[in-house]
Structure 1
Amino acid sequence: MIVRERPGPLRLLLAWKGSVVPHILPHILLTGMFAAAVTWFSRHHYLDGMFDYTLLPFTIMGIALSIFLSVRNTATYDRWWEARKHWGHMVYEFRSLARTGTIYLSPERRRELLTRCLAHAHLLRGQLRGEDVRSDLPGSLAPELIDQALSTRNPAAFMLHRAGDVLAEAHKAGDLDSVATAAVDQHLHGLAGIQAASERIALTPLPFTYTLLAHRTAYVFCYLLPFGLVGVAGWFTPVFTAIVAYTFFGLDRLSEQLEFPFGRHTNDLPLDAICRIHEISVAEALGDPAPEPLQPVKYQLQ
């Protein structure tokens, strides 16, 4: 995620970090060169009688493509925003769990519960990003428990079950009555719901037909556009074509990034930073030294 103060107009115009331009620049240049070739052939009368288009068909196509890309971007942004709300709600669940645990649990059980929940958050981050997070897990966690979790198909769910074991043991030992157990367990339910929602977003992409249709239509439109512009724009045809290509290819690329919000692209969610917030919340609740919050590196917060 890009985190920075809003730059001035000129710096905003020239901003590179967080832009989709690096990803689509080859396509823009290729489209511009194709438009330049069409313009050259047209100016030397090689296209006379072959292509005599008006801008009306391209206007209609452009409006239709703009609407379609807007709808697709709205759908992908909803996925991104839903993921952000769930991971933001996880901060609430951790802090509430720490406070509730202080009320009902012994210091030893509270530490074990919060440690396992913290490991659950890191393991979920690793699952969503396809990364090995063993080195990020709490050092106080039993190595055999870590090995058991990583050997399962769903390490995050396994660790959350083990957090539930702490409550079960306290309840069976008579340290927690049913009301207190339910009060603490509701936050584990909240964490389980966040994991289920995150997995749903990660494992259920938009229908591939949407991506295919938007991608093909954008390319067809941008490569046909020079034939409609050359008669009125002349040698400015490559410039106008490149601007249109930047808009449509950029929207297409941006929607691809927002569709999967858990990666490490510049516009993806800062899961590392959110997990660090959990570490701070747990450490402060347990009276341990808290780590520093993660800071953006070149405006990007991971």
Structure 2
Amino acid sequence: MAPAPTFLRITTMIVRERPNAIALLLALRGSVVPEILPHIAFVALFSVAVAALSHYQLIGLQSLTIMPVTLLGIVLSILLGFRNNASYDRWWEARKQWGQMVNEIRSLARVSGALLGEDAPARRAILMRALAYAHALKGQLREENVGEDLLAWVSREDCDLALATANPADAFIAQAGSLLGEQYRQGSLDSMGLRMLDERLAALSKVQAASERIATTPLPFAYTLLVHRTAYVYCYLLPFVLTGSMGWVSPILTAVVAYTFFGIDRLSEHLETPFGRAPNDLPLDALCRIHEISVADALGDVAPAPLPVKNFQLQ
């Protein structure tokens, strides 16, 4: 089997043991803090300005009650919780689909060996197209050009034919189906064997359809906008009701609350698009390498090494 290709553009996923309490407080890798820190700082500075105006009696805030902001905070917590759950469900569904792909490719390798023979050229050709399918789907979900990488698994002609279609990943499944049809017409497969192998290809197509559904159907923008605006309104109203009773401590409390709400909002954005390039997105390169290892073991080839975890990141 051709050596595994080198990928220049990767997605990553944080993989690390749970650190101790102090290290957990200071951990930045995989955190959304660098992204939301400017917003937290601006809210804290705004709170300092409100506290200063109140301290020098330029505005009177002692009569303000915290009840309206409390009610808004309850509503915001419900909205953020719902959105975070919806985003995580998308992330977890994507992970289950790509985990199912691992199972289907292994099943295809096992069943094809039993029905076509361990050393049958058609078996190798079908499994190579299964690998090309996985890498092509990865490129489609990331909107990246992986054409050169596919040459490690299929010929230039087959690659160009697939890339000329609107859906290269599906084209590789179609090529594998055509190879099965040839084996059936030649008598190397009976109708039952053809059905068993075609079911594995159909399952791979199902994984692709589910992945495309997740990638092309984001959460409703109006809902995302509502949660985002409500979080900002709440954090900028908070200093007015805290300053009267907390004084100069209110900027610290406001910053902590802003970190919580802004952080959940930004993390939900990351989880909503599980095939992206953020640190907490799915490690599609590592999953594709698992396919390569499975196929190499099935064909008796030298299997590539699993992708290592570097700096707590799985590519």
When the two structures are superposed, what TM-score results if normalisation uses the length of structure 1? 0.97
CA distance in 1, matches of 2:25, 2:309: 21
> Structure 1: how far apart are the matches of 2:64 and 2:174?
66
**Distance in 1 of aligned mates of 2:107 and 2:130:** 12
Quote how far apart the aligned CAs of 1:59 are.
1.1
Q: Note if contact 1:118-1:138 (Cα within 8 Å) is conserved in structure 2.
A: no
Q: Which runs of 5+ in 2 are unaligned?
A: 1-12
Q: Distance in 1 between matches of 2:166 and 2:53?
A: 60
Contact 2:242 2:250 survives alignment (8 Å): yes
- Are 2:14 and 1:2 aligned? yes
**Secondary structure at 2:289's aligned position in 1?**
helix
- Equivalents in 2 of 1:194, 1:227: separation in Å? 51
Query: Which residue pairs with 2:133 in the alignment?
Result: 120
Residue by residue over 1:131-169, the C-alpha shift from the partner in whole angstroms, topping out at 9 and shown as x without a partner, is 122233252511011112122211101111111111011
Q: Go from structure 1 to structure 2 and tell me whether the alpha carbon gap of 1:198 and 1:140 turns closer, same or farther (over 3 Å shift).
A: closer
Alignment match, 2:222: 209
Cα root mean square deviation, aligned: 1.1
Deviations 1:174-226 (A, max 9, x none): 11000001111111011000000000000000111111000000000001110
Deviations 1:48-71 (A, max 9, x none): 27x842111111111110111001
Match of 1:251 among 254, 264, 282: 264
Determine if the alignment matches structure 1 residue 262 to structure 2 residue 275. Answer: yes
Counterpart residue identity of residue 69, structure 1: L
Residues 227-256 of structure 1: per-residue CA shift (max 9 Å, x gap): 010011100111000000000000100110
Q: 2:253 aligns to what?
A: 240
Aligned residues: 301
Matches within 5 A, 1:187-198: 187-198=200-211
**Of 114, 117, 120, which aligns to 1:103?**
114
Cross-structure match for 1:53: 64
Compared CA separation, residues 174 and 65, structure 1 to 2 (3 A): same
Q: Normalized against structure 2, the TM-score is what?
A: 0.93
Alpha carbons 1:113, 1:163 under 8 Å: kept: yes
Counterpart Cα distance in 1 of 2:23 and 2:68: 36
* Partner in structure 2 of residue 40 of structure 1: 52
Which of 219, 224, 231 is 1:218 aligned to?
A: 231
Q: Take 2:60 and 2:94, find their aligned partners in 1: how far apart are those partners?
A: 54
* Aligned counterparts of 2:304 and 2:83: Cα–Cα separation in 1: 40
Q: Distance in 1 between matches of 2:275 and 2:41?
A: 30
